[in-house]
């Protein structure tokens, strides 16, 4: 659904008119802003995920894991740190690492200083794939997002997101959040 196809928040569904009118709702301007954000995020995320799957056999989450490892010192991170940084559950990261390891893109290694600790380490094949996948990914992000905005709108959005987060967005965020 594109932002121009958003349902009207002022026109209740006739079948549920009583329920809609009784339910709490946002003012129209806020509802359009919120629903627009959600629709754009879902639209772009679906397109990126489908394209990555078709082109590289990767999901957005797998891209995130590989990118974080590629950018990490020595190309490795503890599994717990990888999960925290990627905002994924420990079990989800473990399944992703297993899948990527089966493809030869990642290896698991033990932590020499902590027998319970496990590292995920990107392989040369993983580095080669993530290089191509990120090049494709950023081109799609540009086409589907940045090309639709003016430079002033891009700066304004950066300031808006920083305001919502309560801190300015800086280049250091790029090393901790490749898909944001």
Phi/psi of residue 53, nearest 5 degrees: -65, -45
Does 108 reside within a domain? yes
Domain assignment present for 175:
no
Residue 113: its pLDDT value, please? 73
Range of the domain at 136: 58-150
Least Cα distance to 69 among 25, 12, 18, 124 occurs for: 124
**Does residue 83 fall inside a structural domain?**
yes
Percent above pLDDT 70 for the chain: 82
Whether residue 130 lies inside any domain: the answer is yes
Res 1: pLDDT:
46
Residue 15: pLDDT band (50, 70, 90) is: low
Angle between helices 79-86 and 60-71 (to 10 degrees): 120
3-state secondary structure of 106: strand
Kindly report, residue by residue over 111-133, the tens digit of the pLDDT.
777 767 889 999 999 999 999 99
**How many domains does the chain divide into?**
1
* Residue 19 pLDDT level (bands cut at 50, 70, 90): low
> Mean pLDDT over residues 66-72, rounded?
95
pLDDT: which is higher, 5 or 156: 156
pTM: 0.76
Going by pLDDT thresholds of 50, 70 and 90, the confidence category of residue 178 is very low
Q: Is residue 8 part of a domain?
A: no
Does 23 reside within a domain? no
pLDDT (0 to 100) of residue 122: 97
Concatenating the DSSP letter of every residue in 109-122 gives EEETTEEEEEEEEE
- Considering the domain boundaries, does residue 174 fall inside one? no
CATH code for the domain of 71: 1.10.10.10
- The better pLDDT of the pair 170, 23 is held by 23
Tell whether 141 is covered by a domain: yes
């Amino acid at each position: 659904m594109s932002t121009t196809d958003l349902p009207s928040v002022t026109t209740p569904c006739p079948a549920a008119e009583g329920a809609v009118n009784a339910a709490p709702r946002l003012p129209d301007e806020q509802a359009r802003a919120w629903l627009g954000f959600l629709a754009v995020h879902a639209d772009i995320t679906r397109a990126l995920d489908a394209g990555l799957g078709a082109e590289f056999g990767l999901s957005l989450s797998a891209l995130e894991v590989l990118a974080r490892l590629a950018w990490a010192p020595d190309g490795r991170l503890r599994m717990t740190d990888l999960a925290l940084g990627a905002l994924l559950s420990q079990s989800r990261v473990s399944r992703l690492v297993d899948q990527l390891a089966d493809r030869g893109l990642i290896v698991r290694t033990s932590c020499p200083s902590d027998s319970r600790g496990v590292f995920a380490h990107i392989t040369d094949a993983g580095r080669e794939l993530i290089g191509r996948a990120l090049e494709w990914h950023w081109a799609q992000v540009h086409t589907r997002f940045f090309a639709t905005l003016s430079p002033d709108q891009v700066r304004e959005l950066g300031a808006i997101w920083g305001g919502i987060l309560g801190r300015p967005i800086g280049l250091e965020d790029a090393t901790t959040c490749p898909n944001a």
